[in-house]
């Protein structure tokens, strides 16, 4: 049973797409999700089945059917290529053998702001407000620049299509798990608007009372595996069609989150976490003739991260003005840890040159600023990048499409870098697609890696000082893939193999402890350096089968063999070892059945997820596991002005719990079997 699920496969996703949208497509041919339009792979609109770029799409229907408690839960449950592990500062993500550092996350095509700690805080996103999610695998730096080495996750939010619509989603589960989402949309003449509010809370949970502290295993801890937390998000999106040629957009979000940490007898947690983030963006699209257009976008994001101290007194250690110093904080103080600001400007043009070419070109400017008292020389630092790219999609023959592009990026610290890419789609028969691609990936060092200094204890180990390094080089990669896809009326399947070679990977390397550090009882000192190279071999398989109108099966399996050379690993010097926190086998399976009566529809979904052993370099590999969930959906039909869907389900049906002691490596964070109910109600005037 343990290895049954890896042989089966993914949920509600499809492999992807490219070539221009043609007007005279037969709707019957586009059954079983094939009429989904994707944009992330090539930067232009394409039908899902027609592009040379490997892409998974999670549709709005799949999102509603799954009833996830969070974005992490949703993505790991619906894509076999993605794994998640909870953290107080956000999510630890794996995609095709690589972690957060090499995955670009975007919201509506714009970079997500706020990744100082090496984690992505997806809690600020509202699952009920997502239209679809597009996952592009492999190096995509030619279009998107830095970070897009493992792939791109583009989360696309809903746009209003009704004259007036009010949507409310409520979800209640065990352990105080609450999600409340409300959105209001209206369409008045040439203006469309969507306003949303999202609230989420969890009481947290504890899987074990065992805890590592100072490299000793102790019992009786009251530390929570997942801490108590609350967060809410306010969002607004406005679209204005000025005239037949010009469209304007404006959007904004505000987000707050509190993480309340318990403190046990072995390791006192001096502080809680508080986050405050807001973003603003404006954009325009100007049509040049029938299909050609220009777009311009400007966005600003501010991400704040604070400590709320709760003990009577706490002393911390800092490197300040080349000296290590102690600073004491008192209960009730809120201390700024970092304020990250991002400004992003983009201008893009798309031209259809005859019937055979689509030219996509643009320029981008990105500015990142980080304020962090005592952690950066002068308390602040900034970097910028200036980039230009061009891409051509050439329909060489009716059954052959070639795409080639290149991006040049000028970075403040690492200089000029070029990232080319070429991909192709060939259709030898009516139902067969062949795809291949080759690309160079690029990742600039983060502000943290360049300038950030801090001291802390991780995983119950030694007090360690961490140092940035302004001499870091950009990380680069070479990526190649080849795939085959079958596209039928009721059955689709795809198989893609890939390899990824990385150079100048940035790793924390142990260095000598300074006299000042020794005086402050610092036991270890580490610095970021370009010392590692890696190679990843892997394959992805997905299928979607609809044997009857009321029944659908979908699944996926992802294999990755990620290994890197670690020059600082003593006896393992320059040996290829598994990349830290990665698993080789991941799989998903879903079975969906639904039947409608006159006024009522019943839907039953069974979802399975498998993950093999998650490997760690130093110690304590995390065990493999599989989890299953059941969701039942109950919908009222034939309501003119409103609709109602009630959901009831069970997460983790077979009650899997990882009992790994706190401070060591876990496979996944779950309290075990839990029950939930939810309600989705819509009022509309069309």
Q: Give 302-359 pLDDT, tens digit per residue.
A: 999 899 988 777 777 665 555 566 788 888 889 898 899 999 999 999 999 988 999 9
**Residue appearing with tokens 């259809």:** 352
- Cα distances from 683 to residues 182, 231, 233, 441, in angstroms, run 12, 26, 22, 46
pLDDT tens-digit map of 571-617: 556 678 888 888 999 999 999 999 999 999 999 999 999 999 988 87
pLDDT for the residue 73: 81
CA 412: distance to chain centroid? 26
Note the pLDDT tens digit of each residue in 392-447: 999 999 899 999 999 999 999 999 999 999 999 999 988 999 999 999 999 999 88
Find, among 408, 405, 416, the residue nearest to 474 by Cα.
416
By the 8 A CB rule, do 557 and 56 touch? no
Is residue 30 very low, low, confident or very high in pLDDT (cuts 50, 70, 90)?
Answer: very low
Q: How many angstroms separate the CA atoms of 104 and 432, rounded? A: 30
The pairing of beta strand 103-107 with beta strand 151-157: parallel
Contact between 668 and 611 under an 8 Å Cβ cutoff? The reply is: yes
CA distance 281 to 345: 10
Residues facing 443 on adjacent strands: 475
Instruction: Residue 3: count other Cβ atoms within 10 Å of its Cβ.
Output: 12
- Residue 244: Cβ within 10 Å count: 7
Q: What is the pTM of this model?
A: 0.87
- Mean pLDDT taken over the chain: 84
Cα 407 from Cα 384, distance rounded (Å) = 16
Report residue 529 CA to chain centroid gap: 25
Asked if 404 and 425 touch (Cβ cutoff 8 Å), the reply is no
Cα–Cα dist 93/101, whole Å: 9
Separation of alpha carbons 422 and 348, rounded Å: 20
**631 near 65, Cβ under 8 Å?**
yes
Residue 574's φ and ψ, nearest 5 degrees, are 60, 15
């Amino acid at each position: 049973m343990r290895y049954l699920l890896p042989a089966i496969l993914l949920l509600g996703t499809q492999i992807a797409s490219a070539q221009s949208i043609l007007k005279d497509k037969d709707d019957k041919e586009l059954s079983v999700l094939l009429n989904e339009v994707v944009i992330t792979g090539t930067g232009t609109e394409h039908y899902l089945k027609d592009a040379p770029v490997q892409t998974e799409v999670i549709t709005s229907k799949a999102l509603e059917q799954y009833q996830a408690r969070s974005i992490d839960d949703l993505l790991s449950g619906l894509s076999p290529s993605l794994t998640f592990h909870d953290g107080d500062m956000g999510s630890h993500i794996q995609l095709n053998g690589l972690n957060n550092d090499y995955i670009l996350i975007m919201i509506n095509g714009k970079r997500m702001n706020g990744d100082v700690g090496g984690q992505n805080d997806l809690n600020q996103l509202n699952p009920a407000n997502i239209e679809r999610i597009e996952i592009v695998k492999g190096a995509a730096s030619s279009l998107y620049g830095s970070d897009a080495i493992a792939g791109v996750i583009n989360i696309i939010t809903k746009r209003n299509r009704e004259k007036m619509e009010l949507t409310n989603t409520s979800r209640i589960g065990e352990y105080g798990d609450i999600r409340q989402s409300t959105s209001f949309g209206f369409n008045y003449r040439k203006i469309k608007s969507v306003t949303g509010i999202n609230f989420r809370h969890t009481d947290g949970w504890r899987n074990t009372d065992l805890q590592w502290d100072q490299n000793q295993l102790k019992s009786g801890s009251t530390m929570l595996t997942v801490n108590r937390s609350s967060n809410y998000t306010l969002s607004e999106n406005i679209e204005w069609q000025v005239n037949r040629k010009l469209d304007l957009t404006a959007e904004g979000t505000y987000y707050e989150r509190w993480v309340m940490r318990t403190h046990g007898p072995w390791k006192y947690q001096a502080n809680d976490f508080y986050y405050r983030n807001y973003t603003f963006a404006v954009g325009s699209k100007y049509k040049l003739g029938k299909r050609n257009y220009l777009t311009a976008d400007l966005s600003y994001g501010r991400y704040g991260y604070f400590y709320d101290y709760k003990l009577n007194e706490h002393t911390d250690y800092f490197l300040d003005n080349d000296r290590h110093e102690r600073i004491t904080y008192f209960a009730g103080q809120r201390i700024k840890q970092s304020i990250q600001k991002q400004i992003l400007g983009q201008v893009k043009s798309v031209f259809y040159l005859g019937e055979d070419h689509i030219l996509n070109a643009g320029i981008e400017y990105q500015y990142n600023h980080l304020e962090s008292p005592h952690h950066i020389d002068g308390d602040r630092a900034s970097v910028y990048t200036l980039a230009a790219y061009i891409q051509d999609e050439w329909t060489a023959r009716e059954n052959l499409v070639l795409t080639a592009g290149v991006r040049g990026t000028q970075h403040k610290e690492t200089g000029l870098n070029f990232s080319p890419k070429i991909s192709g789609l060939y259709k030898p028969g009516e139902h067969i697609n062949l795809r291949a691609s080759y690309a160079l990936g690029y990742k600039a060092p983060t502000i943290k890696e360049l300038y950030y200094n801090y001291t802390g204890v991780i995983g119950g180990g030694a007090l360690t000082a961490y140092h940035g390094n302004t001499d870091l080089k950009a990380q680069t990669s070479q990526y190649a893939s080849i795939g085959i896809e079958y596209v039928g009326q009721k059955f689709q399947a795809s198989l893609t193999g890939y390899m990824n070679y990385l150079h100048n990977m940035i790793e924390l390397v142990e260095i000598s402890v300074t006299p000042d550090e020794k005086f402050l009882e610092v036991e270890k000192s580490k610095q970021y350096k370009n010392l590692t190279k890696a190679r990843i071999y892997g394959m992805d398989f997905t299928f979607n089968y609809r044997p009857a109108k009321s029944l659908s099966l979908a699944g996926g399996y992802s294999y990755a063999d990620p290994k890197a050379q670690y020059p600082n690993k003593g006896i393992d010097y320059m040996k290829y070892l598994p990349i830290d926190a990665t698993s080789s086998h991941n799989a998903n399976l879903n079975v969906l059945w639904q039947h409608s009566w006159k006024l009522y529809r019943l839907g039953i979904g069974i979802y399975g997820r498998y993950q093999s052993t998650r490997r760690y370099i130093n110690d304590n590999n995390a065990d493999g596991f599989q989890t299953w969930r059941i969701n039942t959906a109950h919908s009222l039909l034939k309501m003119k002005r409103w609709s109602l869907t009630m959901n009831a389900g069970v997460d983790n049906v077979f009650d899997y719990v990882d009992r790994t002691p706190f401070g060591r490596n876990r496979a996944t964070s779950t309290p075990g079997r839990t029950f939930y109910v939810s309600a989705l109600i819509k009022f509309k005037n069309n």
